[in-house]
Amino acid sequence: MLHLIPLATLLLLSHATATPLTDPQPLPLIIWHGLGDNYAADGLHEVGDLAIKTNPGTFVYYVRCHDDPGTDSRATFIGNLTEQLAQVCEDIASHEILSTAPALNALGFSQGGQFLRGYIERCNHPPVKNLVTFGSQHNGIAKYQVCGDDDWVCRSWISLLKGHTWSDFVQSHVVPSQYFRATNFSTGDPTPEYLAHSNFLADINNERARKNTTYAANMAALDRFIMYVFANDTTVIPKESGWFAQTNISSGEVVELRDRPIYQQDWIGLKELDEKGGLVFETTSGGHMTFEDDVLEHVFKTYFAPTTTAHWKGAGADVQELMEL
């Protein structure tokens, strides 16, 4: 019986055969966009193109919750994060190209950053070597995003969120509510409602009494975890969430990650990762999601370039082009 081999597989095999063992290619790069964006957006693909230009041979995959860009954009606001993340894990593990790689690099913008961390903690197949996040909400948000005056859809949902954040309906349907984190203003401790009802953040931050040791092991296994905070970010409240810091919204007091139980008791492996030099805190100027190409070029050159210990024979440019058709 004749077995037909998919064209993408043939290209992958032929390129791997032609690539010298002394010329390793960069690991595939997966990129997860932020709230209101979609995987097919021109700006996101410009980032991917820059990654390929900086490290030729990079295979870029744009994470999506739906193949229709409009539906993918709506899924950034409406949906159950647990279900969305499970689907993304399945998509990546079964992807014709990604599944052949020994590891991946990952780049997350805004909420896409903590979602990629969720991928690492909950599934991580293939495993991520280096994770870079920009303006992400790793310690959650204390206030919801301000909507535009004419954005009545956003305003109506935010109105619902403010009064019903911990309802089962909201926690299973409205994405930003699932990384909202409520704390006691005087002690900084998370509230009982948050610990009991948070559908996403309380779990991936291992804040509940019962800890998931796999989460910590997967994060500690990273080569590097680089967290960028935007110096003038007024969209993410508090902006220090991007470094896992705890900020008292009333007083402005900031408790840095290394002074918090999540680090000191190593709930998700950040202390172990830090002790081997893999935890990196970065700042970039500007407001939320505002940066120049040179910042991204630095990331691609410093953290995503191929090395002798983390490389791939590569899928090649032909496969990259094929998968975008």
pLDDT digits (tens, 9 = 90+) for 285-297: 999 999 889 999 9
Tell me what pLDDT residue 101 has.
96
Give how far Cα 118 sits from Cα of 112, 200, 218, 295, Å: 10, 9, 10, 25
pLDDT digits (tens, 9 = 90+) for 86-95: 999 999 999 9
Torsion angle defined by CA atoms of residues 176, 179, 180 and 181, in that order, rounded to the nearest 10 degrees? 180
Active site residue 110: yes
Active site residue 288: yes
Tell me what pLDDT residue 310 has.
63
pLDDT digits (tens, 9 = 90+) for 171-212: 999 999 999 999 886 677 899 999 999 999 999 999 999 999
Check 73, 110, 177, 198 and give the catalytic one.
Answer: 110
- Give the C-alpha separation, 181 to 306, whole Å: 37
Asked if omega into 24 is within 30° of 0 (cis), the reply is no
Active site residue 138: no
Give percent of the chain with pLDDT exceeding 90.
Answer: 74
Alpha-carbon 258 to chain mean position: 21
Q: Which one-letter amino acid corresponds to residue 279?
A: L
pLDDT digits (tens, 9 = 90+) for 41-85: 999 999 999 999 999 999 999 999 999 999 999 999 999 999 999
Name residue 104's beta-bridge partners: 128
- Give the C-alpha separation, 165 to 149, whole Å: 22
Q: Which residue's entry shows tokens 């990331």?
A: 299
- Give the C-alpha separation, 289 to 311, whole Å: 29
Q: Which residue's entry shows tokens 């899924």?
A: 75
First to last CA, the chain: 30
**DSSP E strands: which ranges in 126-237?**
128-134, 224-230
The two structure tokens encoding residue 230 = 């935007």
Residue 307 has pLDDT above 60, yes or no: yes
Q: Which one-letter amino acid corresponds to residue 223?
A: D
Better pLDDT: 235 or 159: 235
Evaluate whether 269 touches 218 at the Cβ level (below 8 Å): yes
How many residues comprise the chain? 325
User: What's the half-sphere exposure (Cβ side, CA atoms, 13 Å) at 119?
Assistant: 33
- Give the C-alpha separation, 23 to 1, whole Å: 37
- Give the C-alpha separation, 209 to 108, whole Å: 28
Q: Collapsing DSSP states into helix, strand and coil, what is residue 107?
A: strand
Check 138, 197, 288, 311 and give the catalytic one.
Answer: 288
Helix-strand-coil percent breakdown of the chain, rounded to 5?
40, 15, 45
The top-level CATH class assigned to 26-142+210-308 is alpha beta
Exposed, middle or buried: residue 128 (CB in 10 Å: 0-12, 13-18, 19+)? buried
- Which segments of 172-311 does DSSP mark as H helices, in order? 192-197, 201-204, 213-220, 261-264, 270-275, 293-303
Residues 6+ apart with CB under 8 A from 290: 230
- Give the C-alpha separation, 71 to 186, whole Å: 41
Q: How many CB atoms lie within 10 A of CB 184?
A: 11
Domain boundaries, the chain: 26-142+210-308
Provide the mean pLDDT of the chain. Answer: 88
Q: Collapsing DSSP states into helix, strand and coil, what is residue 36?
A: coil
Mean pLDDT, residues 147-162: 70
Check 72, 203, 233, 274 and give the catalytic one.
Answer: 233
